[in-house]
Chain A
Amino acid sequence: DAMVIQNPRYQVTQFGKPVTLSCSQTLNHNVMYWYQQKSSQAPKLLFHYYDKDFNNEADTPDNFQSRRPNTSFCFLDIRSPGLGDAAMYLCATSRDGPLPYEQYFGPGTRLTVT
C-alpha cells in the first residue's frame, strides 16, 4: 500500500517556467518534509511543515516555496526553475513526539529543466 505518493514521477519543465510538484500521504503524519537530492549527493532538506507551521531552511532559495492545504497534501512550487534546479525531489513524512520517529519517503519526482 502506497503511503507517501508523489506526482508526477518525472517532470520536464522549461527554464523559467513555474512548476509544481505534489505529495500526498495516507499515514496521517503531522510533519511533512521536502528534500532536494542531486545526482550522487545526499538529500538536502529544503523545508518542513509541523502541522500548518512552515519552517524554511536558512539556505533554501526564495525560488522554492511550499503549500500544505491539509494534513494529507503538500506541494513544492518552483517559481522560476533554473538549470541548477534539476534534481530528484523527495517528500517525506513523520510522526511527532518526545522521541524521534523515522521519516517515510515517497518515490521522488525527477525534475528536468530544459
Chain B
Amino acid sequence: AQSVAQPEDQVNVAEGNPLTVKCTYSVSGNPYLFWYVQYPNRGLQFLLKYITGDNLVKGSYGFEAEFNKSQTSFHLKKPSALVSDSALYFCAVRVAGAGSYQLTFGKGTKLSVIP
C-alpha cells in the first residue's frame, strides 16, 4: 500500500519570506511524486513532479521540491512567497510500475501568505 503524510494542516508565512510545505511518503518500490495546488472551488492544478534523476525538481510559479530518498520526503519550497500563493497544497504519490495509475494524495496543507 502507498501513503502520503502532510504533517501540517496549515502553514502561515509572511509575504517575501521563504516557504516550505512538508510531505513524506511510503511506497513499496520506487515512487513517483507530485505536488498539486487547489484554489477555492477549483480543481487541482499540477505544480511539479519527480520521476527520476536530479533530486531537485523545479516547477510552475517558482516552486521547487527536493526528493530525499533516505528520509522518504518530498518537501515543496519557494524562495519568496506571494499572497497569491495562498491555497491548498496536495502532495501525491504513485508507485512505479506498468499499469499502475492510482495516485494517492495527502490530506492537504493550507498555505496562508500574510501581506
Contacts and interface: CB of A to CB of B under 8 A. Distances in A.
A96 B102 CA distance: 13
Interface string A26-54: 00000101000000111111001010000
B31 to A, nearest CB: 10
Interface in B55-78: none
Contacts of A81: none
A113 B108 CA distance: 25
Contacts of A107: 41-43
A110 B45 CA distance: 17
Contacts of A103: 44, 46, 103
Given A42-B107, A102-B34, A4 B43 contact: yes
Interface string B1-43: 0000000000000000000000000000000101010000111
B90 to A, nearest CB: 6
B44 A90 contact: yes
For chain B, which range describes its interface: under 10, 10 to 19, 20 to 34, or 35 or more residues? 20 to 34
Nearest to A41: B107
A31 B44 contact: no
Contact of B46 (A43, A57, A104, A110): A104
Interface in A93-114: 94, 99-100, 102-108, 110
B43 A90 contact: yes
A42 B44 contact: no
30 contacts: A40-B107, A41-B107, A41-B108, A42-B90, A42-B105, A42-B107, A42-B108, A43-B44, A43-B90, A43-B105, A45-B102, A48-B101, A50-B101, A55-B101, A57-B102, A90-B43, A92-B44, A99-B51, A100-B32, A100-B49, A103-B46, A103-B103, A104-B46, A105-B36, A105-B44, A105-B45, A107-B42, A107-B43, A108-B41, A108-B42
Interface of B: 32, 34, 36, 41-46, 49, 51, 90, 94, 96, 101-103, 105-108
